[in-house]
Copies of this chain bind each other. A is one copy, B any other.
Amino acid sequence: MALGMTERLKPIHAAVRDMVRHEITPAGEEFLAEVPKEGRWVYTARQKEILEGLKATAKSRKLWNFWLTDSERGYGLSTVEYAYLAEEMGKTHLGAETFNCSAPDTGNMEVFERYCTPEQQAPWLPRLLDGEIRSAYLMTEPDVASSDATNVSMPCVADGDDYVLNGEKWWSSGAGDPRCEIYIVMVKTGGDELPKHKRHSMILVPADTPGIEILRAMTVYGDDDAPHGHMHIRFTDVRVPKSAMILEEGRGFEVAQGRLGPGRIHHCMRAIGHAEAALEMMCARSLRREAFGKPLAQLGANYDIIAKCRMDIEMARLLCLKAAWMMDQGDQRAAAPWISQIKVVAPNVALSVIDEAVQMFGGEGISQDTPLARMWTHVRTLRLADGPDAVHRRQVARWELAKHTQQKV
């Protein structure tokens, strides 16, 4: 169980880490400052310049598409190797996008790679791989408990050569971005006559298809995450050709499962990156700022707080690396218990570390003047997205108990 950095990874990791620290972090702050200038869902000229500049630099250094772990198109990194890079990218805004490793695009590109026909891939995959366009993944719906994905209910009805979709999706992350051109949509194609996990399908819907209406941006504790956005979208008689169906009707859960495993690891390692960045900020602040005649570090329980953050991060990272290693062994089913574990652990650790950092920064911490508040709201969504904590804890317990019930047989 090799969880360390490999020799081939070390120079890549150093290059990513340095670019994150010295180039992307300052650029990301400037990028965000541009958001309100011309409207939240458009790019200013300066925003384009910043983002495309970073991407061009990354590409020129061959720091691109690391997530293609199993593919010949990418570096062929293992999940463990990629995890180390995801942590670095998680340390800053624009970190992942600079290297074309953003969610939800990496997951969507994996769906294109693994499950789509060349005809389905052609208009979208090359441009996604090239960072030219972006994509969204539409699953969650306003009126059902999406923690149980079998509740997804958007009807997708065959009509001649087409399918017709009606209903609403929300929390469609990235759909606010003007560069977002393609949606992968989970829909309901079968009824009660089918087994629970055979009733849903995945289908490709171009963002500009008539009948699609972006109702609003969902906010996360007041933050709309513009220009990325978590959009609430209405579908009214949205019509796509039958060839837009991925695999075939009823295989939606199969696609979803293939998509989610690596994605959860990436999310979790980026959350670890958030936590590392927050701890670093907290320590620097505690040494720099004084109150009652002493640096904050020497006041109250701050040593103990810092120690707890360090220990929690170390443990969460090791667990994520083990989950990544399990994934690399090729049996996603065997890896599942570890992925559920990190899905609970990593966001909660990151939230707690960021919260302590906020407390060390005082008013500045909750404000727009540090990245901490934005990091917190971002990670907070991970306790719900891709399955809330409660669902993953339940899974972990079921696997644990199954060791005993199987022993009895």
Measured CB to CB, the residues of A under 8 A from B are: 1-5, 140, 142, 145-148, 151, 170-171, 218-224, 279-280, 283-284, 286-287, 289-292, 296-297, 299-308, 310-311, 314-316, 318-319, 322, 338, 341, 344-345, 359, 362-369, 373-374, 376-377, 380-381, 383-384, 388-390, 392-398, 400-401, 403-405
Residues of B within 8 A of A304 (CB): 300-301, 304, 390, 393-394, 397
Q: Which of B303, B341, B367, B403 makes the CB contact (< 8 A) with A218?
A: B367
Q: Are B170 and A363 in contact (CB under 8 A)?
A: yes
**A290 close to B145 (CB less than 8 A):** yes
Given A222-B373, A367-B218, A390-B301, do A315 and B362 touch, yes or no (CB 8 Å)? no
Contact of A223 among B221, B292, B296, B400 (CB under 8 A): B221
List B contacts of A368 (CB < 8 A).
Answer: 218-219, 222
Chain B residues within an 8 Å CB radius of A341: 310-311, 314
From B142, B292, B297, B338, contact of A148 by CB (8 A):
B292
Q: Which residues of B contact A398 (CB under 8 A)?
A: 303
Are B308's CB and A222's CB within 8 A? no
Taking CB atoms, residues of chain B closer than 8 Å to A3 are: 1-3
Residue ID in chain B nearest A222 by CB atoms? B223
In the complex, the answer to whether B366 meets A311 with C-beta atoms within 8 Å is no
Chain B neighbourhood of A284, CB < 8 A: 404
Q: Are B145 and A363 in contact (CB under 8 A)?
A: no
Partner of A1, one of B2, B145, B283, B296: B2
Pick the contact of A300 from B218, B224, B381, B390 — CB < 8 Å? B390
Complex Cα–Cα for A270 and B381 (A):
27
On whether the beta carbons of B306 and A145 are closer than 8 Å, the reply is: no
List, in ascending order, chain B residues with CB within 8 A of A291's CB: 145, 147-148, 151
| Sample of 18 further A-B pairs with CB below 8 A, known A142-B364, A221-B366, A359-B389 | A1-B4, A2-B2, A218-B368, A219-B222, A220-B222, A221-B377, A283-B403, A287-B401, A300-B390, A300-B393, A304-B390, A307-B392, A307-B396, A308-B393, A311-B345, A315-B345, A359-B384, A365-B384
A401 in complex: contacting residue of B2, B297, B308, CB < 8 Å: B297
The answer to whether B388 and A307 have CB atoms under 8 Å apart is no
Chain B residues, CB < 8 A from A290: 145
